[in-house]
Structure 1
């Protein structure tokens, strides 16, 4: 049995005759008839009932066509998979990521993705979410990884990946050692934070307002890591993501804030711009693998 025989047989059934099947396949009608006869001979049964106007399936033909159609569908899917793979291997993925990624181990994920697609181009840009989203809008990035804030514009599509938490940090041995789990305990402290316009700055000001005070932000920096360095040096306290507080770095005191929530960490794309095959492969790869390398969202 040959693949072309299945293709010819399927075309005859779908078009209702040998002539139309030949026209659709750009093959002479006698050649199709000859291959169908060979197929019937090999199977030892008649598949098609022929008359002067139209051919129809015998009962054996109906059973065989159902199986043949599934086989051809699988072949089409395999071809599509290979075409997709070829597109991925020829492409590149431009990724933007904030420094706060929770338990998402991006370096591990990128290395695994590169091993899977060694010929694919990868670029990574780090920055604040506002800047990265502007780059996404401008076509400079394909995807952005970072906190998914509640006020994210509907022009974006966000896929949550891992949870994140908020904690208060202070210098080692600070008086907040008897902290009761409330941000209000730090109302008289100077704060270190990301600049105005950042998600963390907004979270701090809103959380402080809910606790009945306006935070005195004396030091602003563009890096969560430098927030920790400034706090460790004794220049203030800070509200930061739990992953940033527990990452390697200078020692700080960490105070849980169970009543405050941090936006989930996820992947953000522009709704109106379809992903390239390479970027789509990265999105799907990250979604599948995150459960084995991070604490996924249930």
Structure 2
């Protein structure tokens, strides 16, 4: 039994005749007839009843057609899988990531992906979430790992992979540097803050938390990275709300305090643009990131 015989048989059954099947398959009608006869000989049954006017499936043919189509579907699926694998093995993925990724082990995930698919050209870009989402819009990045804020536009799809928490960072010699009890947010009303610029996710978190506590935060020092916020706090220039990941990262000494109530931080997600079709390599990378987050 040959694949060609199954293909010819299915075409005759679907189109209701040898002539139509031959036209669609771009072969001679005699070739289609010969292959179907050979298939019937192999199976030991007639698959069609033939008259001068019509061709119809026999009962055996109807039963065999179900199995035939299942086999052809499986072969077609295998072809697509192999084509996708070839595309993954030789593909390219550009990934953007913020400095804040919660408990997600991004280096470990990328190392695992690279070990499995060493032929993929993998690029990593870092930045604030707004800039990285702009790269998704422009099509210059495939995926972003970062906070999925509540106002994330619907054109982006986000799969949550990790949680993040907001803490207070203060200079080691600050009056609030010591203590284990969570600090009320109202304790910070007279403090100077170090933060990202207006319009950033962290600035929105600070503004909302301060509003709920009944004050407007003074932000005399603005900077563009979580690492530089930490450096300015360590130098005694102010206090800051920071993601725990950033506050506990290696760097200048600061003190970390819990807050009451604790401001909410968006969950960390793998984000892609709904309107941009991901390549096979990018789809595989996305799934690997999700699997790494769940321990799969």
Distance 2:90 2:110 in 1: 17
Partner secondary structure for residue 175 of structure 1: coil
Partner of 1:246: 248
Aligned residues, how many? 293
User: Shift of the alpha carbon at 1:174?
Assistant: 4.2
Give runs of aligned pairs for residues 35-184 of structure 1, distance below 5 A.
35-172=35-172, 174-176=174-176, 177-178=178-179, 179-184=181-186
Contact 2:205 2:264 in 1 (8 A): no
Unaligned stretches of 5+ residues in structure 2: none
2:269 equivalent in structure 1: 266
Give 1:209 shift: 1.3
* 1:105-158 CA distance string (max 9 Å, x none): 221222222222222222111111222223333332222221111222333333
**Alpha carbons 2:270, 2:290 under 8 Å: kept:** no
With the length of structure 1 as denominator, give the TM-score of the two structures. 0.89
Q: Aligned partners of 1:171, 1:267: CA distance in 2, in Å?
A: 33
Aligned to 2:195: 193
Q: More deviation in 21-30 or 224-233?
A: 224-233
Aligned residue for 2:295, secondary structure, equals helix
TM-score (norm 2): 0.89
Q: Structure 1: which 5+ residue stretches go unaligned?
A: 294-298
User: Matched residues in 1 for 2:219 and 2:184: separation?
Assistant: 18
Report the Cα distance in structure 2 between the residues aligned to 1:230 and 1:4, rounded to whole angstroms: 72
> Does 1:282 pair with 2:272?
no
Corresponding residue for residue 294 of structure 2 = 291
Q: Distance in 1 between matches of 2:252 and 2:295?
A: 29
CA offsets 1:179-233 (integer angstroms, 9 cap, x no match): 4342222222222222222110121011111101122223322221232233334
SS class of match (1:36): helix
Determine if contact 1:172/1:252 at 8 Å carries over to the other structure: yes
Q: Is contact 2:136–2:142 with CA below 8 Å preserved after alignment? A: yes
Distance 2:63 2:182 in 1: 73
Once the two structures are overlaid, the 10-residue window that deviates more, 66-75 or 37-46, is 37-46
Measured after TM superposition, the shift of residue 251 of structure 1 is 4.1
Listed one character per residue, the Cα deviations across residues 8-48 of structure 1 (whole Å, up to 9, x for unaligned) are 11111111122211121122222222222222222222222
Query: Could you say which residue in structure 2 is the equivalent of 1:24?
Result: 24
Secondary structure of the corresponding residue to residue 262 of structure 1: coil
Cα RMSD (Å): 2.2
Structure 2 residue 200 is matched with structure 1 residue 230: no
Alpha-carbon distance between aligned partners in 1 of 2:8 and 2:291, rounded to the nearest angstrom: 39
- Residue 261 (structure 1) shift: 0.9
Query: Is 1:221 aligned with 2:223?
Result: yes
